[in-house]
Structure 1
């Protein structure tokens, strides 16, 4: 991250104050140079160029045998349709001087080849992008690229549609310095010490795009590395947990067995009061959301005392086991069967309302009629049902269910009462 910050700041500073790209046209640059005059159009003007060590010198004998005589100093960049993209340059500097009878403006022109508009080998069909400037007595002329315009006379001559009349210098085939009809007849001399196009190795927009892409790539790389590191740590943790699970398996089984004995009734396998308390404390004690709805069913085997008195306690224990097994078959896996004491049982119905619990109790009541009991006896059960109220303590709910059970027993037994 620190490296990226330093790199970003460094590149931005370098782009602003440096990162210069310069294309130089001068005698020392060794670039091809030639002259063109109006003799190609039956005129009488004559242009020639001399390459001195310090400058390129164009001498022009301008004669007005034509309406628009001219002499041009040309730097050809391409003889085909593949020119040079100069759109990334920002400004031009021209270091030159003039000798002659006039003080008019010099024309700087860029020929740009455009497919469908220009013809190979005919520079007159290449789009003419130009600017006029005065030659200073001394010093250098600074010309921003953005001031270049397409020549109106060329648009008119070539009958270019408006859609193609935009300024483009992305395929430049030649660069031209010219003396034209605004000059007096006679001998003119242009001394060009240098013509330079200045720009940046990387434009500001392109650099910003590269930096954004670099930051995105760095972020993705960091994310991928973090994920790999997390997976490695997760694999190590999983292996350690598996090893701990293997080492503790025997102890866990023993603890499970002891827990069952501590929280369940040994005779029936139902929860005891301690088991109910543990379950309620962990999950169902609070009823502050819809998922914590709960109903309680209090169950009592009718006339169980006569079973013990008639058949003995061993048969009574068999009846209790059969009763608990029958109830467990009918209730849901999430419901809790609790032996409350003697022949009394409590069913805690989780995520259940009073009406649903009443339906369950009635189903259990009917099931008792079809249950096979020891010694061929016929037994029934009575049920008291209620639901946990909002914010109500579970103890109050159990008391209300107990009262409903007492009502069922007092009204003839083998019935369900809802409190």
Structure 2
């Protein structure tokens, strides 16, 4: 037992402070790199690559002859259906500098090949997982892998079913790092010293499974010895079996708790996309429920980026938690609230018509004005409402509610629009 405790402590400490694995893209790494610009779409931007021992430098003359001008580094990982599994990495760091007009925004794109949906003949069929970030004047940018999300424009363009819109990077074929926007025409220079994926040789979840398995294995060995000894000590066997039953019950409860965490957003404690998906599947497996009885409300916090930029991400996280709690208090226990991504939330109202969902959204919007927010902020939200039509899949209703939300934002925000 002492040896097992020491072994467990050493492994946990090693996993926390060490056990690092890094996948690097840089001039020194020797990985192939290409430069791509919008001339592929008949644009006028021109990108040029300069290799130095310490950096890959991209000089980009960005021109507005294409709707979305861009220049980008492209690191190919595979030319066939078998990509690289990046799902066990926790964070990504960028050691780079940026000179040129605009706010120096860069975009990371990981394209994931998914059998059944992606094909080699259609490059755009590979799932687009992206994250935007600002390149600071000095220092290294580090972003968690979990902030990557499937690009909404890609899911809309490809008409991807809801159950396939989750972010996946378990079969990545290319890593793209791009710049470009409508208001940043001119000469840009990006010096990429390194792009690194950071992770653990053994993930925390896998390590916990190994440790639990080891403990259970040792417990089983100990149980065998105890049962052998119990032949001569029948009077104490009942107590020992009861103890083992409690241990197994505790392990089962812990396993159920860990499984429940996979369906909950760790910050706001409401459902995540997986949790919403599971709740909907469970709901519709009930013969008394049908998709026609649902309404969808899409919610987006107004000007949330300004909160992060002005007060920091810590205050932004507080606002997200308070916002989720306020919405949760305003809906029924049978309704489902999920964090859709960033500052976007989705409410599924069972047994609710479109008009009733519109009234609910107005009620929630007004309630936000009475909410006390961190740092005395004034927080409002825009709402898009729709009802599930007969024979319609929930993904179409979500897209329609998303369209209504964009109408609300285009009409000045802090309002409700129905589709």
Q: Which TM class, normalised by the smaller chain length?
A: 0.5 to 0.7
Partner of 2:147: 147
Structure 2 residue runs without a partner (length 5+): 232-419
Deviation, structure 1 residue 37: 1.3
SS of alignment partner, residue 13 of structure 1: helix
Q: Are 2:19 and 1:27 aligned?
A: no
Partner of 2:198: 198
- Alignment map for 1:68-107 (pairs within 5 Å): 68-107=68-107
- Alignment map for 1:6-405 (pairs within 5 Å): 6-224=6-224
Which of the pair has more CA radius of gyration? Answer: 1
Q: In the alignment, is the contact (CA less than 8 A) between 1:80 and 1:121 conserved in 2?
A: no
Deviation, structure 1 residue 225: 5.9
TM-score (norm 2): 0.52
CA distance in 2, matches of 1:141, 1:26: 15
SS of alignment partner, residue 72 of structure 1: strand
Instruction: Report the CA distance shift for 1:52/1:122 in structure 2 as closer, same or farther (over 3 A).
Output: farther
CA distance in 1, matches of 2:183, 2:21: 35
CA distance in 2, matches of 1:189, 1:206: 42
Q: In the alignment, is the contact (CA less than 8 A) between 1:79 and 1:121 conserved in 2?
A: no
CA distance in 2, matches of 1:62, 1:122: 27
For residues 324-381 of structure 1, the C-alpha deviation after alignment (integer angstroms, 9 at most, x for no partner) is xxxxxxxxxxxxxxxxxxxxxxxxxxxxxxxxxxxxxxxxxxxxxxxxxxxxxxxxxx
Pairwise CA RMSD of aligned residues?
A: 2.1
TM-score (norm 1): 0.52
Q: In the alignment, is the contact (CA less than 8 A) between 2:69 and 2:182 conserved in 1?
A: no
SS of alignment partner, residue 91 of structure 1: strand
SS of alignment partner, residue 82 of structure 2: coil
Q: In the alignment, is the contact (CA less than 8 A) between 2:67 and 2:182 conserved in 1?
A: no
Deviation, structure 1 residue 173: 0.9
SS of alignment partner, residue 15 of structure 2: helix
CA distance in 2, matches of 1:99, 1:113: 33
SS of alignment partner, residue 21 of structure 1: strand
CA distance in 2, matches of 1:167, 1:130: 9
Deviation, structure 1 residue 218: 2.2
Deviation, structure 1 residue 101: 2.6
Q: In the alignment, is the contact (CA less than 8 A) between 2:98 and 2:104 conserved in 1?
A: no
Deviation, structure 1 residue 224: 4.7
Structure 1 residue runs without a partner (length 5+): 232-419
SS of alignment partner, residue 35 of structure 2: strand
Deviation, structure 1 residue 219: 3.0
Deviation, structure 1 residue 141: 0.7
For residues 295-325 of structure 1, the C-alpha deviation after alignment (integer angstroms, 9 at most, x for no partner) is xxxxxxxxxxxxxxxxxxxxxxxxxxxxxxx
Kindly tell me the number of residue pairs found equivalent between the two proteins: 232
For residues 51-77 of structure 1, the C-alpha deviation after alignment (integer angstroms, 9 at most, x for no partner) is 210011111121221111211101111
Q: In the alignment, is the contact (CA less than 8 A) between 1:108 and 1:175 conserved in 2?
A: yes
Q: In the alignment, is the contact (CA less than 8 A) between 2:70 and 2:179 conserved in 1?
A: yes
Instruction: Report the CA distance shift for 1:162/1:229 in structure 2 as closer, same or farther (over 3 A).
Output: closer
For residues 145-194 of structure 1, the C-alpha deviation after alignment (integer angstroms, 9 at most, x for no partner) is 11111111111222212221111111111111111224522221110111
Partner of 2:336: none
For residues 115-138 of structure 1, the C-alpha deviation after alignment (integer angstroms, 9 at most, x for no partner) is 122111533221111111111000
